[in-house]
With several copies, the nearest count.
Chain A
Amino acid sequence: MQTHKAKRVEITIESVMETRLTTALIKAGVTGFTVLPVLGGSGRSGQWNREGQVSRAGGMVSVVCIIRPERLDGLLDAAFSMVDRHIGLVTVTDCEVLRAERF
């Protein structure tokens, strides 16, 4: 089956920033993304867990974005401007996709 090279960008960020991030991504020309829930985690700012958050402020989500390689830089700039002051993580992986016309 015919596949096409693409980049898979995964941005883990505080829930409270989700809308701001996705708005920035759309502005940066991203055509789609998928948001995954995150149960908990650990990092420099300590360990946390979704069960046991009273606050909307707690919690993170993971935003996955598949894009053509040539659009990577624009996306990373947009993502970086978000995670810069905030807690968050950005990873990029090479991948292949079916139906490249969709990206």
Chain B
Amino acid sequence: MDGILALAAENLLSPIILFFALGLLAAFAKSDLSIPEAIAKGMSIYLLFAIGFKGGASVADHGIDATLLMSLLLGVILSFVLPVIAFVLLRGMSRLDVTDAAAVAAHYGSISIVTFVAATSVISSAGLTSEGYMVAVAAVMEAPAILSALWIIARYGKAGAAMEEGLMREILLNGSIVLLVGSFLIGWVTGAEGMDRIAPFIVAPFQGVLCLFLLDMGLVAGRGLRSARAVLTPGLLLFGVVMPPIGAMLGLGAGLMLGLSTGGVVLFMTLCASASYIAVPAAMRVALPEANPSVYLTLSLGVTFPFNLTLGIPLYLAVASAVTGG
């Protein structure tokens, strides 16, 4: 228990968390601090490029693991299953209607790549490594949850939530997935030699860029919370901090079943615990325009993201270490 607290405290005082907090505070104080949209998008491209490439290069380095395919498969299954759990919880804990509840559920089945990046940074601070292909697991977990949510609506909700033609293709080929998977494959193909060439760009400055990026996330989350706090009923708020550990427990089970390293288990837990705020909201605006965006964005970005960043990840790390004995 002491270990967890120490870990959480150390995490809370890391520059990336503090810059996130600075962004939150600046937003609450109505400062006009803002990162230009193009710069924010540029930084997220950088992060996807770097994390994908490093994952691929690490696979090239360690060789293909027998569990690679099984990890991908379990990831897909969890992304399908998590929204169902989230939906049931939401219907019990809040007064959201079927559409809104399904839309929120889709977000919790999918993943947040920035939370994933933050977790890799925490585990490497803790001296742990992880399977490079966890990046690929992250990629395959983005989309299935969206299908799950649409299925829930078709089953329990009004008609009219049919999967629009072309939408699935759009989701699978969205920019983030293509860049992440593409960089992963290129990192894999070019291996150590490729890594040598671009390491000064993607390794050394990584933490610094992440700080600025999280500053922006803090600003965005803070502004979102400020303008949408009305939608945050106590039930929803509770869901936003209870669902992540539930997801993480499933991720823990999967990670242990696969026999992943301690670091890999933490990443699997983090993926299951995190909620999407980029790919899924866009898909929801097209497929379920009736669902209220302030509900799902405020929950995933304003509640669950900060929770995971500050308390969640250290908790998952502590639990995984205890269980794997790593």
Q: Give which listed residue, A17, A20, A52, A86, contacts B223 with CB less than 8 A.
A: A52
* CB of A93 closer than 8 Å to a CB of B: no
Q: Give which listed residue, B216, B220, B282, B301, contacts A16 with CB less than 8 A.
A: B282
Residues 267-282 of chain B: 1 if any A CB is under 8 Å from the residue's CB, otherwise 0? 0000000000111011
Name the segment of B5-13, B32-40, B70-78, B234-242 touching the other chain: B32-40
Evaluate whether A56 and B227 lie within 8 angstroms (CB atoms) in the complex, with A46-B294, A51-B36, A85-B289 already known.
Answer: no
Q: Are A55 and B282 in contact (CB under 8 A)?
A: yes
Q: Which of A58-72 contact B (CB under 8 A)?
A: 58
* CB of B217 closer than 8 Å to a CB of A: yes
Evaluate whether A52 and B227 lie within 8 angstroms (CB atoms) in the complex, with A14-B285, A17-B286, A86-B289 already known.
Answer: no
CA distance A45 to B228 in the complex (A): 10
Which chain B residues lie closer than 8 Å to A49 at the CB level? 223
CA distance A49 to B32 in the complex (A): 12
Which chain A residues lie closer than 8 Å to B220 at the CB level? 52-54
**Which one of A20, A50, A58, A87 has the greatest number of beta carbons of chain B within 10 Å?**
A58
Q: Give which listed residue, B174, B277, B285, B293, contacts A54 with CB less than 8 A.
A: B277
Q: Which of B271-307 contact A (CB under 8 A)?
A: 277-279, 281-282, 284-286, 289-290, 293-294, 297, 301
Which chain A residues lie closer than 8 Å to B284 at the CB level? 57
Please name the residue on chain B nearest to A83 by beta carbon. B289
Residues 7-41 of chain A: 1 if any B CB is under 8 Å from the residue's CB, otherwise 0? 00000001011001000000000000000000000
Q: Which of B26-54 contact A (CB under 8 A)?
A: 32, 34-37, 40, 44
Which chain A residues lie closer than 8 Å to B285 at the CB level? 14, 16-17, 57, 86
Evaluate whether A56 and B281 lie within 8 angstroms (CB atoms) in the complex, with A46-B294, A47-B227, A85-B289 already known.
Answer: yes
CB distance from B221 to the nearest CB of A (A): 8
Q: Are A55 and B278 in contact (CB under 8 A)?
A: yes
Which chain A residues lie closer than 8 Å to B35 at the CB level? 51
* CB of B118 closer than 8 Å to a CB of A: no
Which chain B residues lie closer than 8 Å to A47 at the CB level? 227
CB distance from A17 to the nearest CB of B (A): 7
Which chain B residues lie closer than 8 Å to A51 at the CB level? 34-37
CB distance from A57 to the nearest CB of B (A): 4
Besides the known contacts A56-B174, A57-B293, 12 further A-B residue pairs in the complex with CB atoms under 8 A apart:
A45-B293, A46-B228, A47-B227, A51-B34, A52-B220, A54-B44, A54-B216, A54-B278, A57-B281, A57-B282, A57-B285, A87-B289
A/B interface sample: 7 pairs, CB < 8 A:
A14-B285, A46-B228, A53-B37, A55-B278, A56-B174, A57-B293, A87-B289
Could you list which residues of chain B lie within 8 angstroms of chain A, going by C-beta atoms?
32, 34-37, 40, 44, 174, 216-217, 219-220, 223, 227-228, 277-279, 281-282, 284-286, 289-290, 293-294, 297, 301
| A-B CB proximity, top 6 nearest | A57-B281, A56-B282, A57-B282, A51-B34, A55-B281, A57-B285
